[in-house]
Structure 1
Amino acid sequence: MPKGAADGGAATARRRGNPLALAVLAQLGDRPMHPYEIARVLKEGRKDESVRLNYGSLYSVITALVRDGLIETAGTEQDGNRPQRTVYRLTADGRAEVDDWMRCLLGTPVKEYPQFMAALSFMQVLRPDDAAPLLRARLVALRVAALRIEEDLERRTEADPAPFTAETEYELALLQAEVRYVEALVHRLGDGSLDGLGAWRDRPLEDVPS
């Protein structure tokens, strides 16, 4: 494989591992913007709840997208005595990239690695009697979070059509599914019906040298 093709493939893989790059491309697909405006629009649309946003990362992403030819400088703007701001716009390659990226994300499931799944995978390092109250505390926090999102979603859907709240609906669905799972797990721990509970209780824990 030619080196350029390999380098391009690596760049695409790195970019597609960073949802903030997708957010920048998507926003510039609406109109040219400067970085501060991109951040403001993302926050106003609550997109910072689904994409981790900070200014240092945002400028690094923009630099990489310019380097890869997916966005380009469209000019500068100045508001009063503030420093000039560089405005960026999507290129033809950038439009093709965001379209292909979105088609992949929407149409192809990928393996993700949630922290709670890792916690469940290694839960046996604790005693069942230690794990149970932690799960009950998690359950309370999950219910509170789900209620908050339900109330927020009800307010938002009065003003925003469904496509613009889809990520919040998905977040709520995940929370509700986790609530049901943790409820069942807590119940099985409590009534002793969890498979392997006896062996878990009897499992020796290694002494950790002081």
Structure 2
Amino acid sequence: MTRAPTLALAALFALLLGLGLAGIGLGRMPLDYAVSILALPLGGLAAALVLTLRRQTDLLARWSGRLLAGLAAGLAATLAYNLYRVAVRSLFDLPFDPFRVQPVFGQIMTGMPSTHAIALAAGWGYHLWIGAMLGMVFAALRPSGGLVAGLLFAALVQLGRWAMYPSVFRAGLSDQEFFANGVIGMLFWGAVLGATLHQLARTTRTAG
């Protein structure tokens, strides 16, 4: 099987490791942010090393292709979710900034003002990485994707967020934005994720 998916994924994971370790080394990135960036790349590279040493290159290429499909589906779903948030604000005239959290992420990760270009790049990069990472996790669990599977996965992700931050859940019960983005929006994200991964898996099977 082709080595291209493995090499592409290894390059991405190595880049993320470099960025995460640089953030820690500079003493500005909080540990929980660093872990969310480093955990999957570290695990992926370690698994790749083990499979390479065992000469299971076909299995490695298969898993690399699966994770890359999940990454693509995760990014597509995150892009669709961002467009959805803009549409919701415009259609229902809700008074919120749909992208206010990205600069905050960047400020926390870099220690720079939220308006600084590096902070903005870090915040948006982190936002996109979380979407891509969740897409890869979904692809590992459900390689064929599917609309219903995507919806269930999104519901589990959202339930996990609420379990970790119960105060956010309580505060948002009467909040229109909370319902539109935190409930309906996440289900929309999951639907796009599942449908996109299903189409990618189908295309791969047809090509093979």
Q: What is the TM-score with the length of structure 1 in the denominator? A: 0.28
Whose strand proportion is higher, 1 or 2?
1
Whose helix proportion is higher, 1 or 2?
2
Larger radius of gyration: 1
